[in-house]
């Protein structure tokens, strides 16, 4: 038996709520925390420049509603990647990370999840990889100064699609402030990954886990990495979560889904169904959710 906290991704919930309504709904739905998004949209990137008053208001609402934010998902690096051939883009990318660190300090967030792309919209090359390593190192040093963890997510992209690759970059940077944030859906979709062995070999690098289903990459399919209903994909949740109990994993889990961001009319009901899906598996494999 392990005790783990369970959170919900921001984009799963209705997008027309106030922050207070959002936090109250997160609590009402039975989650321990909320996962905050700074993606590539102008609206969410603007959060990095919130004023002192805006940050204070957000922090007060978290205290009032008894809700915490465990992770900041910095997927804005897709638009402004660390490995870009454009020096101005690389500079902005590192600046974004620095601002994200300061926002985390002000809001009491301990972990920034970084998307594991060298570049996303540009062509990949040995140069994009080298620039990525150089700027990842800068980012880790910026975060370490303020005791904020950076964690690389296993991706829908072959650049970093397993824990072995994250471990390799950790060894290049050589800092305890860079760890792994595996996505069970992304890990399972790549046929070359032996997911149980990956988890066993690199459990000591994992600080948080995404719960998401996926359709596999094959010779004739690019796979499906988003919006796969739980139980309809290739992820063996019962097997992998049972393994994590054996490994005594005590970090957090986040249910990652996009019901609210997709504009689904029944977004809340979809989240409830996802929560019930994992409640059943947790009981089956021996995971106790942290008390709400």
**Is 127:89 a contact under the CB 8 Å cutoff?**
no
| pLDDT tier at 48, thresholds 50, 70, 90 | very high
Triad 102, 30, 214: Cα angle to 5°: 75
pLDDT digits (tens, 9 = 90+) for 92-124: 999 999 999 999 999 999 999 999 999 999 999
Buried b (16+ CB within 10 A) or exposed e, 149-179: bbbbbbbbbebbbbbebbbebbeebeeebbb
Average pLDDT, the chain: 98
Give the percent of the chain with pLDDT over 70: 100
- Cβ neighbours of 126 (radius 10 Å): 7
Buried b (16+ CB within 10 A) or exposed e, 194-225: ebeebbeebbebbbbbbbbbbbebeeeeebbb
pLDDT digits (tens, 9 = 90+) for 159-170: 999 999 999 999
How confident is the model at residue 180, as a pLDDT?
98
Kindly state the average pLDDT of the residues 273-286.
Answer: 98
Q: Which of 14, 61, 75, 7 is nearest to 266 (CA)?
A: 14
pLDDT digits (tens, 9 = 90+) for 20-32: 999 999 999 999 9
How confident is the model at residue 159, as a pLDDT?
97
| pLDDT tier at 80, thresholds 50, 70, 90 | very high
> What backbone torsions phi and psi does residue 275 show, to the nearest 5 degrees?
-60, -45
The answer to pTM > 0.85 is yes
How confident is the model at residue 49, as a pLDDT?
98
How confident is the model at residue 138, as a pLDDT?
98
pLDDT digits (tens, 9 = 90+) for 245-279: 999 999 999 999 999 999 999 999 999 999 999 99
What strands, in cross-sheet order, belong to the sheet with 149-153?
178-181, 149-153, 111-115, 68-74, 33-37, 6-9, 252-255, 208-211
Give the percent of the chain with pLDDT over 90: 100
| Beta-carbon-side half-sphere exposure of residue 155 (alpha carbons within 13 Å) | 18
pLDDT digits (tens, 9 = 90+) for 170-202: 999 999 999 999 999 999 999 999 999 999 999
| pLDDT tier at 57, thresholds 50, 70, 90 | very high
Triad 8, 188, 135: Cα angle to 5°: 75
How confident is the model at residue 149, as a pLDDT?
98
Kindly state the average pLDDT of the residues 127-132.
Answer: 98
Interatomic CA distance for residues 14 and 68, integer angstroms: 18
Q: Which of 81, 178, 177, 174 is nearest to 127 (CA)?
A: 81
| pLDDT tier at 76, thresholds 50, 70, 90 | very high
């Amino acid at each position: 038996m392990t005790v783990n906290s369970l959170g919900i991704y921001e984009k799963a919930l209705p997008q027309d709520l106030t922050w207070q309504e959002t936090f109250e709904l997160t609590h009402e739905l039975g989650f321990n925390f909320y996962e905050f998004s700074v993606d590539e949209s102008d609206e969410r990137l603007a959060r990095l420049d919130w004023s002192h008053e805006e940050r204070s208001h957000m922090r007060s609402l978290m205290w009032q509603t008894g809700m915490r934010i465990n992770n900041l998902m910095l997927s804005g690096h897709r638009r402004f990647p660390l490995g870009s051939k454009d020096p101005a883009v690389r500079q902005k990318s590192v600046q974004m990370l620095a601002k994200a660190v300061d926002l985390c300090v002000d809001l009491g967030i301990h972990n920034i999840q970084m998307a594991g792309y060298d570049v996303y919209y540009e062509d990949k090359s040995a140069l994009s990889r080298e620039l990525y390593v150089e700027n990842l190192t800068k980012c880790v040093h910026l975060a370490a100064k303020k005791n904020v963890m950076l964690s690389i997510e296993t991706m829908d992209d072959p650049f970093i699609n397993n824990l072995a690759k994250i471990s390799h970059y950790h060894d290049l940077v050589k800092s305890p402030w860079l760890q792994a944030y595996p996505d069970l859906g992304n890990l399972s979709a790549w046929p070359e990954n032996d997911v149980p062995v990956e988890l066993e070999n690199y459990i000591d690098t994992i600080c948080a886990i995404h719960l998401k289903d996926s359709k596999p990459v094959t010779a004739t399919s690019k796979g499906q990495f988003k919006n796969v209903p739980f139980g309809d994909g290739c992820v063996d949740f019962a097997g992998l979560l049972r393994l994590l109990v054996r490994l005594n994993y005590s970090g957090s889990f986040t249910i990652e889904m996009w019901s609210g961001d997709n504009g689904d009319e029944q977004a809340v009901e979809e989240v409830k169904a996802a929560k019930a899906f994992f409640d059943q598996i947790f009981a089956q494999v021996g995971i106790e959710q942290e008390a709400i």
